[in-house]
Structure 1
């Protein structure tokens, strides 16, 4: 069985990096980060998760669990001939790259506001924000295009994702919204995330970065991540929300590169 994960490839002579978005998003959610990494010479792959963007739902025997996604990505890596790439994940994608780091199928992992560390008391906040965006995505497309033309509306609609939603273009805002409407993988992950608890220790150089103004997975959850995964490097990302790759892409690239350099140092030793 071949992988059905769709991706964009920015060829480079450096080490391969794979970018993994979060629930309801798509590969375009990485904004300028792929181009910035590629400009530094890296070979960049930006994926659509199964059931998101252009990727179909996972075919049996695969499913939506973290373990199954790790297996699907390992198969994709093999098909692409990129043994143990560096991986970067945001939100649900962050939990996925931590699973890969636990299995040792990657060289390094950078997780941005990863899922799996929220206490039960935070669940209503997560659910309310995701359902607000999911429900709003079903408004007519023409209305989305009109409303997203107003900066105040983008600030309201995307306040749980970005500290600077004004950095999201109208086209990207509409495209993200329509993708959220159509993403068949949203509901399986939405219900599965209720029980998701990231507890497995990582065995490769790993950085967990948390936006200090994250309104979806609250910054206090970073303390839980530090307690559960003390072997990882933990960083607070200033002036960043849940998707720091949009708020401050250069900061994210610096974080990813620093993690990759730690992996290179570990290999050299």
Structure 2
């Protein structure tokens, strides 16, 4: 990881600079078997105009057997793009139930193996776990993304500001907030808070308002200060994700030189 000194916070991972230019496009892999995952990666590699590969290990049937590091190592040989490793637990909208100890153990093995360039760390785990994982990422030159997901609602503006501030204190290199809107006002509130906090917090932000209603938040990051957006080139990992070709065209049209 390289943190670049500019007038706004950016993080460089390989040749991808998060926080500079258009929001970077991340494609998630949500396969269950090693074969399915590697085939998806091969397919993604035939496509253009995307930047980061997210491996959703909570979908992977080998997670329970400790096979994640081996899988990520094989993916390393298939792509030169930065790899984001994510284990999304059910309390954050994912596919697995893991207590703090097992969650920490699984991510520790990934971080220390250097098989991922970025690691998602859920803010809903104990502050001690989050702090120790962020410290471990720094020690091993892995980018930490502290994330929070609310699939029920869009919290108040103050609550969203407080969540981002707490994640900042916990030490994440990048802070991610995803919320569910009930109306257009919720979408605008998320975008407003993103704009405010991107100026206030010295960390790159990734934010999104989920579902069809929130799609505008996935393409407006260059204006609001959200540095990455998630697209699809197959199975989506969250509601409201936009197909890769469409997403790239939207970002390109909105790009400010």
Does the TM-score normalized on the shorter chain lie above 0.5?
Answer: no
TM-score, structure 2 as length reference? 0.32
TM-score, structure 1 as length reference? 0.31
Bigger fraction of residues in strand: 2
